[in-house]
Each structure stands twice: as structure tokens, then as C-alpha cells.
Structure 1
Amino acid sequence: MTETETKKRKLGLTSVILISLGLGIVCGVLIHYFMPGGFVRDALLVDGVFYVIGQGFIRLLQMLVVPLVFCSIVCGAAAIGDVKTLGTVGVKTLLFYLCTTALAISIALTVGNIINPGRGVDMSSIASSDPSTLATASETSIAETLLNIIPKNPIGAAANGDMLCVIFFALFVGIILAILGRRVETVHKFFTQFNDIMMQMTSMVMHVAPFGVFCLLSRTFANIGFSAFLPMVKYVLGVLIALACQLFLTYMILLFVLARVSPFKFMKKFVAVMLFAFSTATSNATIPLNIETLEKRMGVDRRISSFTIPLGATINMDGTAIMQGVAVIFTAQLFGVPLGPVEYVTVIATATLASIGTAGVPSVGLITLSMVFNSIGLPLEGIALIMGIDRILDMCRTAVNITGDAVCTIVVAKQEGCVDLGKFNDPSAGSDLEEVRMAS
């Protein structure tokens, strides 16, 4: 392979999506400010072509979620083999996810109190949505939340997209496959081959990713332009600062301290996955690319990543938790609701709980945010106020979510001796990954 060919392969997926992302933003802004409203712009272009292609791409990704997560976790749990090792990996992963989520909310609350995003905001300048159109999360006790993890009907849970139930049942199946070993080799092979089918299907869907990204961003900016950001710039800034702290401080320190690997090399190799997550605003869509990048570019054993990454896409929502923390401060200040130590502790506990089981699909954080608001008596109208600009922030927090999954995977894999450091430190390792995916 020549040096020129290597460079081309490095530019594959990342370059195409980046170009689509940039063109989508430019196109949307031009349409919003320079194209007169009417049938052609609104009905035919924005709510016609852009909406159908963009949402069609999202639906393709959603179509893959349940079978992809189920097969990945079954295969991951079965591949680890030793039940004791599986239990160790599972406990470490769960603790890591819960601790980083609680830390993320704490960072968000701190940043929120420093920036004070809700003070000095002119509510008359903000176009609010009708709060009655917002689905609210019903208040559920911790006991019921834990019980709801166990599916009454696994088939029904899969049909309804209840991901915690799907993960629980998949783990159960994977553990049994590991225990029975050769006696269920045929079943194990079925899940392995079906997992390969889902990975290939995802690769095929990726062929339309640039078009989907272009249409999603074009429609977003054609509808809101830049004007929606101006009245709420402090809120947006607060979320972005908290996300940056979690990404560049928390995660990088954890990588360096717990895994003893270079955060800079990690970021350089992981940027393509972050960019794709940012473009699609869905954690589940990044599962195959995340697993392949960790295995081929960073030397992480697939037995670990195929277990931790799908699990993280469902229960590890640090970016979403950060949005919820800043939104709490923003809304409390906006409506003059005082918050004390008890309320802050309640927010941390509730938001951590709410992030577990949050589906990895666009804007679902707004739904679980109502659970957090209800826990401390904040008005739901605050959620309606931030709905208009949530799409952009959703893209940013999704990139943080999937980075947290990858960091956890590397930390756990390193402690289990399942990381090839030679491959991790090799800048050319897996450099053909993106080109292969585009050509597959």
C-alpha cells in the first residue's frame, strides 16, 4: 500500500461526513435568510425533501437498534466465556458509567451556578413551544425502576424498544451460552453470524449517511437560523463548557490515570466516531463504528467492546446528564425557584437514574428531563423553552456520550489485559477502516 493510498483511506468516512455537515449548515442558513417562504421552500424543500431523507436515515438507524444491541451483547457475554470474568467486567463497567454520569451532572451544576444562564434572559424574546405537546416521564420509584429492568415479555420489550429489558435478556442468554459451551455451539454460531449480518447491514446504511447528515442539518438551520441562539446564548454556552470539561478533562484524566494510555492518541483515532455521532445525534448508530475503531485502531479485544459499547449506548448518557444539570439551573433561575443542597443532591440522583435506560436516539433527553424537573418541582414550561435549540446541543452531547463509552471500554479492557498497546500506539493501525466501510 502506498503512502498516498493510506492518506486517502484515512480521509474516507470522516471527510465525506464533515463536508456534508458543513454544506448542510451553509445550505440551511442560506435558505433561512435568503429564500422567501412559501410552498417551494417550506412544503417542498424543508418539510419535503430534507425531512423525508433526514428522517428516513434516522429510521434506518433506529431499525438496527434492537437486533444490533441484542446480538452484540449476547456475543460479547458469550465470548468472554468465564462467568467470573464476565461478572468482573460487568461490575466495573456499571460502576464506571454510574460514577462518570454523577460526576457529569455535578460539573454541569457547578458550571451552571458560575455562568447563571437563567439570569437576565428576556423570556418574551424566546419562542416557546406548547408544553402540552411535550411527553412527560411518569414518576417511578427506584424499586419499580429496578423491577422494570426484568422483562415480563422479552419479545414485547424488543417490539417496544425497551432497551434495558433487551439488555437484561441478552446478558442472560449470553451467560447461559458461556456456561453451556460446546453443548450450544450451534446457537452460539447463529448469534455470531446474525451479529455479522447486523454489522454488514449497518455498513450498508452508512452509504447514505452523508445525504442524511446534509438533510438533517439543512432542515435544522433552515428552520431556526441563528436567531434562536441569541436570547439563550448563556444556556448554550453553559452546556458546551460543561461538555468540554467532561470530554477534555474527566475522560482524558481517567484514560491517563486508570488505563495509562495517551489521551492525545486516543482523541486522534477516535475523532471519526465522534464526528459521526455529532452528525446523527444518536448513540446507537455509532455502535458498530465504535467497536471496530476500538478493535482495529486501538487494539481493544472485541470480546470486551462488544459487551461494553452496546451497554453504554443505553445506560451511559453523560452528555445528556450535563444538559439536564444546566437546564435545571437555567429553569430555576428563569422562574425564580430557589435550589438548596437537598435539591442539588436530588437532581444528581434523579438525573443519574433518568440517564439509565435513556434510548440512544435524537432528543430523547428532553423527555427524561421532565422526570428530573418533577423531582424538585420545576415548571415543565422550562423544557418547552429549550426545545427549539436542543437539536444542536443534542449533537454535541451525543459525541460526549459515545466517547464516555469508549473510554470506559479502554479502561476496563486495559485492567483485564485485553488491550494491544502496540496497536494503540501505532498511528497507522487500522488506518484503512473508514475506506473499507465506505467500500463495503
Structure 2
Amino acid sequence: MIEIGLLIREFNVSSSLQTLIFFPGEIFMRLLKLLVLPLLHPDTAKKLGLRTVLYYLFTAAMATCIGLTLVLVIHPGNPSIKGGKVIPKPHDHSHEALDNILDMIRNLIPENIIGAANSRDQTKISRNGSGFPVKHVEKVEGLNILGIITFCALIGIGTSKLRHIGEPVRNFFVSLETIVLFLIEGAMWTAPFGITSLVAASIAEVEDIFTTFQVLLYLIQNISELRFSPPTLPQYSLD
């Protein structure tokens, strides 16, 4: 895989040939994105929905506290650059944190479940004619996974509460899950070609290959160190 990318860099192959080499990887990624969404069926989502939200809030709060503590203790940056220079007014990050939290809550309850498959809400800040910042919520491209999980959880709760009336819906999603898993099993047979194409494309597009390998070694070192740290991710059982 890496060798193919290095050969492409070495021999400067034509753009048409590069496109053909990278095309299987693009198709493989499109196939995976196509099959990911149907895996979120209600029975699984109703068990993971609340846990996912609570765990996200807990880890976000921990990361914020740790980051603020380290900044106050270590004081990162070079103090010498402050001498004789005008220090700009510090940016208020509290509003950004609040906007991120509100965006997350908005995305939990999407206006349109079909639209949640390709867009999500995000707060943007622009300047008006007087130069003052104005906030507005826009639709940005991307999968709204939180909204889909919430919708599936509500469908799962309704299906379980209605019992016999909801049985056809339950059977539908069970059948859909079986079909999607069958399709994913077939898609995995194309993984060797798709992954080879993706890795070759990544290597060929790197500008400084030696710097990239140095960063890779640094990443391997960090991952090796994490093996000796205690696990922090909870393990949930869907049984």
C-alpha cells in the first residue's frame, strides 16, 4: 500500500492514472457511508441514546476542567513576546463553549429526520454594518448522528410501549438490520482494494514524506504510552 504511493510520487504518473488508482478508495468510502446510517435501528439506539449523551457531556466537562487547570498551572507560551508590544484583547471563549452546548442540544432534536442525514445546526458569528458580532444558526453539511440517535430512541420507546401494535415496526427494523449486515459483509470483500487505494492516495499527496514519518513515529510513541494507562471508556452491554 505504502509502496504504491511512493511509486506514484517517484515516477510522477499522469493525473488520469492517479485518478484511476484513487477511485476504488473513493467508492469504498461512499459505500461505507451509505451503509452506516441503516445500522442505527431503534432497539439499539434506545439503549445507547441517553448513555451517549451523558457520556459526551461528562467527558466534555472533564476535558474543560483539565484544560483550564493545566493552563493556569503551566502558563503555556513565551512571555518575552509580550514586552513592548500591544497585547490584543483576549477572545471570550465562554460564548463559544455555550454555543457549542446549545448546538448539541439543537442537534438532539432535529427539525427534519431526513435532513438530519446530511446536515446539522451550527452557530456562526458574522459582523453587521456597524462591526458588531451577530450570531445566527446555519445548516452545515454533515451527518447529525445525535439527532438520528434521538429519533431512533423515541421510535424504539414507542415500539416497546405499544407492544402488539408496534410489533410490525420492530420486525421491519430487525429485517432491515439483517439485510444491512449482509450488505456490509459483502462490502468487506472490497476492503483490501479500497484501503490500498486510500493509503496510496494519502502517501502520494504528502508534500514532505520525511516529516510525515517523523510525526508517525511520534504518534506510535504516544499510542504505546497509552497502553500502560488505565481504561477510561465505559463498556456497555446491549443484552
TM-score normalised over the length of structure 2? 0.64
> 5 Å matches for 1:203-242?
203-224=185-206, 227-230=208-211, 233=214, 240-242=220-222
> 5 Å matches for 1:74-85?
74-77=42-45
Alignment length, in residue pairs? 193
Query: Which one of 18, 42, 57 corresponds to residue 28 of structure 2?
Result: 57
Distance (Å, rounded) in 1 between the aligned partners of 2:164 and 2:228: 45
Instruction: Please give the secondary structure, in 1, of the residue aligned with 2:110.
Output: coil
C-alpha displacement of 1:238: 5.6
Share of identical aligned residues, percent? 29
Change (3 A) 1:32 1:232: closer
CA deviation map 1:265-315 (0-9, x unaligned): xxxxxxxxxxxxxxxxxxxxxxxxxxxxxxxxxxxxxxxxxxxxxxxxxxx
What's the counterpart of residue 153 of structure 1? 112
C-alpha displacement of 1:188: 0.5
Structure 2 regions of 5+ residues with no counterpart? 79-95, 120-142
> 5 Å matches for 1:286-305?
none
Q: Is 1:27 the counterpart of 2:9 in the alignment? A: no
CA deviation map 1:132-164 (0-9, x unaligned): xxxxx9x93522431232011112222543222
Instruction: Please give the secondary structure, in 2, of the residue aligned with 1:154.
Output: coil
CA deviation map 1:89-118 (0-9, x unaligned): 6555544455456667859x97xxx9x9x9
1:77–1:174 contact (8 Å) kept in structure 2: yes
Instruction: Please give the secondary structure, in 2, of the residue aligned with 1:249.
Output: coil
Distance (Å, rounded) in 2 between the aligned partners of 1:55 and 1:190: 31
Q: Is 1:412 the counterpart of 2:236 in the alignment? A: yes
Distance (Å, rounded) in 1 between the aligned partners of 2:30 and 2:39: 14
Instruction: Please give the secondary structure, in 2, of the residue aligned with 1:152.
Output: coil
Distance (Å, rounded) in 1 between the aligned partners of 2:197 and 2:103: 40
C-alpha displacement of 1:43: 1.1
> 5 Å matches for 1:301-320?
none
The one-letter amino acid of 2:26's match is: Q
The one-letter amino acid of 2:176's match is: F
Distance (Å, rounded) in 2 between the aligned partners of 1:228 and 1:45: 21
Distance (Å, rounded) in 2 between the aligned partners of 1:236 and 1:217: 14
What's the counterpart of residue 125 of structure 2? none
TM-score normalised over the length of structure 1? 0.37
C-alpha displacement of 1:198: 1.0
> RMSD in angstroms over aligned alpha carbons?
3.8
Change (3 A) 1:185 1:91: closer
1:29–1:221 contact (8 Å) kept in structure 2: yes
C-alpha displacement of 1:31: 2.8
Distance (Å, rounded) in 2 between the aligned partners of 1:103 and 1:247: 21
> 5 Å matches for 1:1-400?
24-33=1-10, 35=11, 37=12, 41-46=13-18, 48-69=19-40, 71=41, 74-77=42-45, 86=47, 91-100=50-59, 140-160=99-119, 161-224=143-206, 227-230=208-211, 233=214, 240-246=220-226, 248-251=228-231, 254=232
Instruction: Please give the secondary structure, in 2, of the residue aligned with 1:182.
Output: coil
C-alpha displacement of 1:220: 1.4
Change (3 A) 1:232 1:220: closer
Change (3 A) 1:239 1:75: same
Change (3 A) 1:182 1:412: same
Structure 1 regions of 5+ residues with no counterpart? 1-23, 79-85, 120-136, 255-403, 419-440
Change (3 A) 1:27 1:229: same
What's the counterpart of residue 123 of structure 2? none
Distance (Å, rounded) in 2 between the aligned partners of 1:222 and 1:103: 39
The one-letter amino acid of 2:34's match is: M
Change (3 A) 1:94 1:42: same
The one-letter amino acid of 2:36's match is: V
1:93–1:412 contact (8 Å) kept in structure 2: no
C-alpha displacement of 1:195: 1.1
C-alpha displacement of 1:193: 0.3
Distance (Å, rounded) in 2 between the aligned partners of 1:247 and 1:100: 20
C-alpha displacement of 1:412: 3.0
More strand by share: 2
C-alpha displacement of 1:192: 0.6
C-alpha displacement of 1:214: 0.6
Change (3 A) 1:77 1:52: closer
C-alpha displacement of 1:174: 0.9
Distance (Å, rounded) in 2 between the aligned partners of 1:104 and 1:247: 20
Distance (Å, rounded) in 2 between the aligned partners of 1:42 and 1:58: 23
The one-letter amino acid of 1:230's match is: T
Instruction: Please give the secondary structure, in 1, of the residue aligned with 2:199.
Output: helix
